[in-house]
Chains A and B, each alone.
Chain A
Amino acid sequence: MGQKRSTFLFSALCFGMAFLYIPMLLLIIYSFNYSKIVPVWGGWSLRWYKVLFESEEVWSALTLSLKIAVMNATFATLLGTLAGLALVRFGRFKGRTLFSGMITAPLVMPEVITGLSLLLLFITMAELIGWPGERGITTITIAHITFSMAYVAVIIQSRLAGMAQDLEEAAMDLGSKPIRVLVDITLPLLAPGMVAGWLLAFTLSLDDLVIASFVTGPGANTLPILIYSRIRLGLRPDINALATIIIVVVTIGVIIAGYLMLRQQKQRERDMQMAAQEVVKLDA
C-alpha cells in the first residue's frame, strides 16, 4: 500500500479537506467579528461570546441536551450491547429476521418519519394509558434511545464478529458458566466498543434536531431546537460563537482520543516486534 499517490489523488485529497474544513474555519473566524451583521467585518471581538454566556436560554437548552444525551447514551449502550450479543452469539432464534431488521432500520430511516411516527405513538399512548402525560425530556430521551441503540448494536456486532468465539469457549472449557464468561471475557473485550458506542450515542443525541422537535413538548427546548429557531431567520453572530465552542471542544476530544488510540496501536506493534526478536535471539 506504500505506493505513491498520483498528483491527481493528492489534489483530490487537498480539495476534499479544504471543502470539509474551510466552511468551519470561516464560521470560527466570524464568531470573533464585532459586527452584528455576520458577513460584514467589524473588527476582532469577543462580544458574541459574552452575549452567548449571558443568555439563560442557551444555558438551559444546553443543560437539557446534556441530560438527555447522557441518559440516552447510557441506555442505548445497554440495549445496543444486548442486541449485538443476541444477533452475533445466539445463532438462529425465533423472530431473528424481524429483530435484525428492526435493529438496522433506524440507521437509514429518514428522521422525519421516525420523528412523526414516535410522536403519533406518544399521543396514542397518552390517550390510551394516560402516559406520557406531557412531552419533553422523557419522550425525547426515549426517541433518541430508539435510534441510537441501532448504532451501538452495529458497533458491538462488528466487534463481536471480529472477536473469536474461541475465547468464550475457552473460558467455558476452563469452568465458567455462561454468565461468568460474559463478565470475565465478553464484556471486558467489548468495553472499547461500548465506550465508542456510548460516545457515538451521546453525540447523536446532542446533534439531533428533527426527531427532538417532533416529540418535544412546550418549553422543552434542546440546544439544536434553540439553534434552529434562531438561524431559521438568518445569520446570527452568537450562533457563530456557539458553533466555535462546539467545534473546538469536539476537535480537542477527537484528537486526544485519536492520539491515545494511535499510541496504543504503536505500543502493541512494538511489543509484538520485540517478542519476535527475542525468539530469534534465543535461537541464535
Chain B
Amino acid sequence: MNDNATAAVDRSERSSMRSLTAVLMQRIQSGWKTLVVGIPNVWLLVFFLAPFFIVLKISLAESIIASPPFSPLVEWSEEGALILQVIFDNFIFLWEDDLYFNTYVNSIKIAIISTVLCLIVGYPIAYGIVRSSSTTKNILLLMIILPFWTSFLLRVYAWMGLLADQGTINSFLIWIGLIEKPIRMLYTEFAVYVGIVYSYVPFMILPLYANMEKLDMSLHEAAADLGARPMTTFLTVTLPMTAPGILAGSLLVFIPAAGEFVIPDLLGGGNVLMIGRVLYNEFNSNHDWPVAAAVAIVLLLILVIPMMLYQHIQSKQAES
C-alpha cells in the first residue's frame, strides 16, 4: 500500500518534471526557429524592403541643389495644401516629358522583341538537348551554363569587337567581297537585340529544358499512333505542354531585359533609349535624384505584374 503511494507520488512528480522539460524544450525550439526565420527576414526587411520605401519617399520630394539633392519630406505636414502638388510633380513630369515616355515604350518594345527572339533561338536548342543521349545531354547543358559563370560584361564586350565598324564581321564581309564599306552595326538597336539575345538565351533554354525533360515522350508516340503528323503532334501536344516552360523562360528574359543597362550602354551607345540607362545617367550625371527615383518607381510598377507572375509560377513549381 505504502509502496504504491510512493510510486504514485513518484510518478506524478516525474510527469510534472517531464511536462516542465517539455515546455522548456518547446521554448528553446521556438526560439531556435525564430532565429532561423528571423535573421534572413530582418536582413531582407532592412536591405531589401526598406530601400523601396525610401525610393518612394524620395520620388515624392523636390529636387534641390544640396547634398543629398532632394528636399526633406518632414516639412510637408506643415503645408497641407501643397502636399498633392508636390507629391506627383515628378511623376507628372515623367508623363508629360516625351523623352521619358518614349524611353519606357522603347524599353518594353525591345524587351518583348528580344524575348520572342530568345524563344525562337532557344526552343529548338532546348528540344535538341532533351532529345540527346544522356552523356551528350550533360555536356550540352554544361555548355549552356558555362557562359553564366564567365563575366557578363566581357561577353557583351565580345560583341563590341564583332560588330564594330572595323570589327570582325565587317572585316570578314569586306574580305569576301560582299560589301565595300562597313555596315554600321555597333551603336544601333540591332546590336542591342543581338546583345540581349546572346546574354539571356540561356535563361530561356534552361526553364524550357527543365519543362521538356519532364515530358512523357510516349505522349508523342500516342499522338502519332492516333494519326497525328509530326507537325500536328508538335502543335497539339508538345507546344501546349511546354507552355509553362515558355512562360517561365519568357519572364526570365523579359524582366531583366526591360531594365537592362549594360547592353544598351555598351552596344547601343547614345542611339538607343532604354530606361535602365536613362535611370543610371539621371542618377550619376544629372544628380536629379527625385526624378531618378520616380523613374525607378514607374519601371517597378511596369514590371510588378510580370514579376509576381514569375513568382507565382516558381512557388507553384516548388509545391509540386
Contact = CB atoms under 8 A, between A and B. Distances in A.
Interface of A: 1-5, 8-10, 12-13, 16-17, 19-21, 23-24, 26-27, 30, 37-40, 79-80, 82-83, 85-86, 90, 93, 95, 99-106, 108-113, 116-118, 120-121, 123-124, 127, 142-143, 145-146, 149, 153-154, 157-158, 161, 177-179, 203, 206-207, 209-210, 214, 224, 227-228, 231-232, 234-235, 239-240, 242-243, 246-247, 250-251, 253-255, 258, 262
Interface stretch (B8-16, B85-93, B236-244, B306-314): B306-314
A58 to B, nearest CB: 14
Given A23-B159, A79-B40, A116 B128 contact: no
A26 B168 contact: yes
Residue among B44, B159, B315 having the largest count of chain A Cβ atoms under 10 Å: B44
A242 B280 CA distance: 26
A23 B158 CA distance: 6
B296 A112 contact: yes
Contacts of A80: 40
A235 B299 contact: no
Contact of B131 (A1, A127, A146, A177): A1
Nearest to A243: B154
A169 B211 CA distance: 31
23 contacts: A5-B132, A13-B129, A16-B122, A17-B143, A20-B144, A23-B198, A24-B147, A24-B155, A26-B161, A39-B168, A79-B40, A82-B40, A86-B37, A110-B299, A112-B259, A112-B279, A149-B40, A227-B151, A231-B153, A239-B154, A243-B157, A243-B158, A251-B150
Contacts of B259: 110-113
A2 B137 CA distance: 11
A16 B303 contact: no
A196 to B, nearest CB: 11
Given A1-B130, A102-B45, A157-B318, A24 B158 contact: yes
Given A116-B283, A121-B51, A27 B154 contact: yes
Contacts of B133: 2
